[in-house]
Amino acid sequence: MKKIIILSLVLVLSAAVLFGGGKKEVENPSVFKIGFSSSLSGTFAGVAETQKKSFVLAVEEINAAGGLKMPWGKIPVESLIEDDQAKLDVGVRKFREMMDQGMNALTGGIWNPMSAALNEETKISPVIYVPGFVPAKDAFMAGNPAICSYTPTFTPWSIGYITGQAIAKNLGKKTIFFLKRADSWGTVIQEGLDAACKEYGIEIVAVEELPAGTVDYSAVINKALRVKPDVFVTTMFGGDAIANLKQAYDMGLYDVSTIFNVWTANIVAKGIPENALAGHYALAWFYYDLTGFKDKAVAEKVKKYSDAYMARWNEPPDNMGTAAYLAAKLIFGAVEEAGTFDPEKVSKVFETRKIDTIKGSYIFRKDRQPINDHTAFLLKGKTPGEKKDKWDFFTVVDSYGGEKVLPPLSVMGY
């Protein structure tokens, strides 16, 4: 019995050294570990790769400046990069593996349903979580966000709402054929679009639904050709969007309806024929070339960032790639402001501060979504003759922002 008691005391003392006696190290960590997890394989791989590049640039920039400026000194940032393969079980497993490595914060992600699962994980294992893409609406409903879950973008509801706004105000169209992706992405985009249709007096005349990874869009396109809507709206993204837009062009839908891709990326614009790019409209949270844009201060910030990205990767930054960059920057700034890696204290910074970003100022609402003057940009594809170089894909037609483009707080349960 005496030996058991002594052994127990040794174990307790060992634990104290590791978790208590190491208190100084816990309170004053020597490194900040930030995770990046996204779908680096599969249909979203091209976009996820641009996310990774932007994330790496953000980490390199903070380390080039000496690291995070904390009360106990400058702390280097270490990155942990994983592929979630657009599979929920893999994403959760990768999250837990990074937590085992001492992860302090997480960004990345490109597949919408993943964000809800990881938000739940961060309730069990508190960590700063700012996904670098458009996360699930459910994760930000009242009572659902984890202690330090925030989005640098918005939920898909806003994509749908802004799509309706743009169709009514910029395009002056009235009828919509809506192709939605068969998951929370497509469903919530439709919620926002329905709200805009009601407000602006436009009509959805047909709805079709297809899963991520669809290869053949001919049945849907043939139906749209028969219906002849003013606008064909597609919610497909990444490789799916490339296949959808290419087939829509090949089958003559561009000659019948205005094509509207609710969410684009450089990889999508590069992946479709130039004639299929020309004339179609799309939304993006970010576009790298804001030459002549009405907000000159934001245009200058975007140019500075875009030049740095181009110098590092020999290509311009992308829509969702930049979301991961801004997410990392938000995390670094809030950690420095809080003077700690504690997620609860970092969350207070997001709750109470007006934050300057490359897209202008951010003020986070109760539901952890930012109010920003340029929430999304309306883009129009350029013709081959209009393009200055191989990366010159779009003309920026307009931007939409303010609290109006976010779902009412009552919709979010507040």
Q: What is the mean pLDDT of residues 254-260?
A: 98
CA 155: distance to chain centroid? 9
Q: What is the mean pLDDT of residues 41-55?
A: 93
Q: What is the mean pLDDT of residues 383-402?
A: 95
Q: pLDDT band for position 320 (50/70/90)?
A: confident
CATH architecture of residue range(s) 156-284+375-405: 3-Layer(aba) Sandwich (3.40)
**What does the longest C-alpha to C-alpha distance in the chain come to?**
88
Q: Please give the helix or strand (H or E) that residue 349 lies within, else none.
A: helix 343-352
pLDDT at 27: 75
Of all residues in the chain, the percent with pLDDT exceeding 90 is 90
**Quick count: other Cβ atoms within 10 Å of Cβ 275?**
13
The answer to whether 220 and 249 are in contact (CB under 8 A) is no
pLDDT, tens digit, 9 for 90 and up, residues 81-113: 999 999 999 999 999 999 999 999 999 999 888
C-alpha 121/C-alpha 357 separation (Å) is 28
Q: Given a cut of 50, is residue 18 above it in pLDDT?
A: no
Q: What is the mean pLDDT of residues 321-348?
A: 97
Q: Please give the helix or strand (H or E) that residue 32 lies within, else none.
A: strand 32-38
Q: What is the mean pLDDT of residues 208-237?
A: 97
Q: What is the mean pLDDT of residues 41-66?
A: 95
pLDDT at 36: 98
366, two tokens: 């109760």
Q: pLDDT band for position 2 (50/70/90)?
A: very low
Fold classification of 30-153+302-371 (topology level):
Rossmann fold (3.40.50)
Pairing of strands 376-381, 73-75: unpaired
C-alpha 400/C-alpha 325 separation (Å) is 21
**Quick count: other Cβ atoms within 10 Å of Cβ 252?**
10
pTM: 0.89
Of all residues in the chain, the percent with pLDDT exceeding 70 is 94
Provide CATH 3.40.50.2300 ranges for the chain: 30-153+302-371, 156-284+375-405
pLDDT at 43: 85
Q: For residue 43, what are the contacts with CB-CB under 8 A and spacing of at least 6? A: 86, 212, 213, 238, 239, 240
